[in-house]
Chains A and B, each alone.
Chain A
Amino acid sequence: MMPLTPTLKFDAERDPSFPKQIMARPGGEKLFGCIQCGTCSATCPVSIYMDYTPRQIMALTRAGFKDEVLRSRTIWLCASCYACTVDCPKEIKITDIMYALKRRAIQDGVYPKRFPIPVLAREFFKMVRRRGRVTESELVVRLMLQTNWLGMVKMWRQGLNLIRTGRFSLKPERMRHAEALRPIFAGGEPHLATRTPRHPWEAES
């Protein structure tokens, strides 16, 4: 038998403060102006893989369905190409809202832990924290190890190609004085009023 799940939403499942929190982030201001026209979804190159279309994310965010939004695949699939942002007839900066939702999902610890996209973001974040720069080849290797080590075997041909053309290097690319970035990762200089709180991923690096 087909399992049946009710989709009725009770108002208590909403977090009415959620849209306001998202709108408080730079770029989120115009969220309430959305007319649900779907231009964002139609112009998005990856919307066809999303569980909610970008338009639906706007509707859910606006209505305060925090859980649905933060646990969605959609926010992670956004490739930041800004097509929706420049096409939106109501000038909603959808890419910025997607970023805000990603950050919130990390903060709340509800992002998909084994989904390669946040894993890449985490590895990227940590690598820059350590060296100030990114070594792409190493980043990909680390990503594969954590999400799909079998996939690495399949990629041997590509790896070989990159080595052949001198584009693959595991020699870490780093700043001379990566410690110069310390104030940044401390959330800004100590005297600042706007210091940002510590990030949940900082402990991992």
Chain B
Amino acid sequence: MKFSYFPGCSLKGTGRAYEESLLAVCRALGVEVQELDDWNCCGATAYMAVSEAAGYMMNTRNLALAERDSHELLAPCNACYLSLKKTQHYIAEYPSVAAQATGALAAEKLSYTGKVKVRHPLDVLVNDVGLPAIKKAVKQPLKGFKVAPYYGCQIVRPFAEFDDQQNPVLMDKLFQALGAEVVRYPLKTRCCGGSLTGTIGEVGQRLSFILLNEAQRRGATCVATVCPLCQFNLDSYQAEMSRQWSPVRMPVVYFTQLLGLALGLDEKALGLQRCIVPLPAQEVHA
């Protein structure tokens, strides 16, 4: 099983623990990944607001790079995943987008046919590697963990390709397979605030706070995410939130970190030391 890998800017920055844990888990489960050569930023939500054309062209370049490698393209960040998917959908749906989006490939002798498939690691790990194989590889079941599975918005919206749009369940199934308890978490696809936490702190942080507070109310011992921005927003403002609204302290980890723990991988290799609110030691060694 081999994939082209598009880390995106966050996995090289604030979300590096996601990359560390993802690569470690992939290695452990026999999924080979190869980073896309000299990839560019996906444009996230900012580019669509500034220049539609440039946004589509940037994504098409990454897609074309993947087509050159002729593997499926792994995109772990929700924003990257959505940008790539949206570009593919709109190229297929709107001739005007197709003309625009492929308009800057010639200089690098690239081409885009639409055949490359963009995949999220959650989809690949649960559906391709499969829960039976993962179960078999578990060394330390996640006993005592009560996980609130948080999917964020852009992984199933608007293109619900591998999970339900209103009520995704893949992560729930994964953690149950790893021996953890999963709390019913109705906010699992509600927005974390995205870049609003940085721009208009009060608005963005309130959204994140609601998510954490509800996880805490439901007795979760940690929140698991699939997106670097969600993890950042939920993990790094808890002191401010506690000051402003009510006390909240909730470890927020990547789903790959929990998977890594269950596979018996080293905490450091999984980047767990990068959590601002650390996962309690007793849990880790339960």
Chain A–chain B contact at Cβ < 8 A: yes
Chain B's nearest CB lies how many Å from the CB of A66?
A: 18
List the 5 closest pairs (A to B, CB-CB), nearest first: A188-B103, A81-B191, A81-B153, A183-B104, A82-B157
1/0 per residue A125-139: CB within 8 Å of B?
100100011111100
Total number of residue pairs linking A and B with CB closer than 8 Å: 207
Q: Which residue of A lies closest to B14 (CB)?
A: A167
Residues 135-185 of A contacting B (Cβ, < 8 Å): 135-137, 140, 143, 147, 151, 157-158, 161-162, 165-169, 173, 175-178, 180-185
B9 CB contact (under 8 Å) in A120, A134, A161: A134
Chain B's nearest CB lies how many Å from the CB of A166?
A: 6
B61, A136: Cβ atoms closer than 8 Å: no
B14, A136: Cβ atoms closer than 8 Å: yes
- For the residues of B in contact with A, the DSSP-based class is helix
Residues A189 and B236 in contact in the complex (CB < 8 Å), given A26-B94, A80-B48, A86-B165: no
Chain B residues lying within 8 Å of A158, measured Cβ to Cβ, are 236-237, 239-240
Whether a CB of chain B sits under 8 angstroms from the CB of A45 is yes
Whether a CB of chain B sits under 8 angstroms from the CB of A193 is yes
Which of B50-58, B115-123, B218-226, B252-260 lies at the interface with chain A? B50-58
Chain A residues within 8 Å of chain B by Cβ, number? 72
Whether a CB of chain B sits under 8 angstroms from the CB of A74 is no
B51, A199: Cβ atoms closer than 8 Å: yes
- Inter-chain CA distance A168–B38, complex, in Å, is 22
A136, B13: Cβ atoms closer than 8 Å: yes
A137, B275: Cβ atoms closer than 8 Å: no
Chain A residues lying within 8 Å of B193, measured Cβ to Cβ, are 45-46, 79
- Inter-chain CA distance A79–B193, complex, in Å, is 7
A120, B195: Cβ atoms closer than 8 Å: yes
Chain A residues lying within 8 Å of B41, measured Cβ to Cβ, are 128, 132-134
A189, B104: Cβ atoms closer than 8 Å: yes
Whether a CB of chain B sits under 8 angstroms from the CB of A61 is no
1/0 per residue A76-107: CB within 8 Å of B?
01011111011000000101000110110010
**17 A-B Cβ contacts within 8 A?**
A45-B207, A46-B191, A46-B207, A49-B200, A79-B193, A86-B157, A86-B160, A86-B165, A121-B46, A122-B50, A133-B12, A136-B14, A166-B274, A168-B14, A175-B40, A181-B40, A194-B100
B47, A81: Cβ atoms closer than 8 Å: no
Chain B residues lying within 8 Å of A80, measured Cβ to Cβ, are 45, 48, 153-154, 194
Residues A165 and B61 in contact in the complex (CB < 8 Å), given A45-B190, A121-B49, A196-B100: no
Whether a CB of chain A sits under 8 angstroms from the CB of B140 is no
Chain A's nearest CB lies how many Å from the CB of B53?
A: 4
Whether a CB of chain A sits under 8 angstroms from the CB of B16 is yes
Chain A's nearest CB lies how many Å from the CB of B276?
A: 5
Chain A residues lying within 8 Å of B57, measured Cβ to Cβ, are 183-184, 188
Q: Which residue of A lies closest to B94 (CB)?
A: A26
Chain B residues lying within 8 Å of A137, measured Cβ to Cβ, are 13-14
A181, B61: Cβ atoms closer than 8 Å: yes
